[in-house]
Every structure is written in structure tokens, then in C-alpha cells.
């Protein structure tokens, strides 16, 4: 009888903590921008728009560059109406969180690198969204 060597089980990352850190990395900067808008911008339209779109902004920030890239490659994508675009952006947002969770479950180094990269991307996208909202407010007024 041969005994199989006992392999040490790698400690698996707890999925709740990985999910929480992934959601914070993807959505955290957008919630900071929405909070700054609610606290310091007197425009009621801006506040209402942030509440409507903060849930789908990460996906929209991924969807628009992909649409532009596919257009440059000669692949004409369909144009999405307002509601359909929001649904697709929401699904992309959830897919982004799921992708970060999937990569983060590979190990601690993969989790740290992924969370840093996604947080910087989300912070940049949230800053651009905030500035676009401010420029619309300054142009159109309240």
C-alpha cells in the first residue's frame, strides 16, 4: 500500500471579504464623487443624476471605450437607447465586480494588484464623471 503525500491546503480567501473589497474598489470612488456632489454642489439636477447613474457608471466607463475601439476596428455596434444602455452598463458593472472577485481569489498578491489597478481606474473615471457633471451644471445652470 502506498500512501499519498499529504498536500497542504492553501488557505482560500474568504469570499465575503474579497467581495466587499472588490465592490469598494469598483464603486468606492463613484460614491465619493456622489457624496461630494451632494454636499458641495448646489445643483439639484446634478444630485438627482448621480443617484440615477452611480450604480451603472463603472460599466459605462468600460462600455464607451470598448464601443470606440470596436468602431475603429470596423465593427459597427448597435446604438443603445437610454434604458438599454443603462441595463448593459449595469451588467458590465456587475461583470467588473465579478472579474475582480475571480482574480482576487487567486491569492493575496493577485488581490492586491487587482484592487490597486481597479481603484485607480475607478478613481479616474469617477473624477471625469464628476467634472463632466460640473461642466454641465456650469453651462446649463440650475
* Dihedral sign, Cα of residue 99, residue 104, residue 106, residue 109: positive
Q: What are the cell numbers at 56?
A: 451603472
Query: Contact at 8 Å (CB) between 37 and 47?
Result: yes
Tens digits of per-residue pLDDT, 40-68? 888 888 888 888 889 889 988 888 787 77
Cβ neighbour number for residue 95 with a 10 Å cutoff: 13
Whole-prediction pTM value? 0.78
Query: Contact at 8 Å (CB) between 50 and 133?
Result: yes
Tens digits of per-residue pLDDT, 70-117? 778 877 666 667 788 788 888 999 999 999 999 988 888 988 999 999
* Pairwise CA distance, residues 43 & 5, whole Å: 67
Amino acid at each position: 500500500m502506498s500512501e499519498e503525500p499529504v498536500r497542504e491546503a492553501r488557505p482560500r480567501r474568504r469570499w465575503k471579504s474579497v467581495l466587499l473589497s472588490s465592490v469598494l474598489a469598483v464603486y468606492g470612488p463613484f460614491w465619493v464623487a456622489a457624496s461630494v456632489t451632494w454636499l458641495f454642489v448646489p445643483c439639484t439636477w446634478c444630485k438627482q443624476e448621480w443617484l440615477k447613474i452611480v450604480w451603472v457608471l463603472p460599466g459605462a466607463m468600460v462600455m464607451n471605450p470598448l464601443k470606440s475601439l470596436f468602431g475603429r476596428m470596423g465593427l459597427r455596434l448597435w446604438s443603445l437607447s437610454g434604458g438599454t444602455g443603462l441595463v448593459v452598463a449595469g451588467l458590465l458593472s456587475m461583470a467588473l465586480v465579478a472579474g475582480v472577485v475571480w482574480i482576487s481569489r487567486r491569492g493575496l498578491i493577485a488581490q492586491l494588484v487587482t484592487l490597486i489597478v481597479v481603484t485607480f481606474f475607478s478613481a479616474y473615471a469617477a473624477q471625469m464623471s464628476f467634472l463632466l457633471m460640473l461642466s454641465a451644471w456650469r453651462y446649463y445652470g440650475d
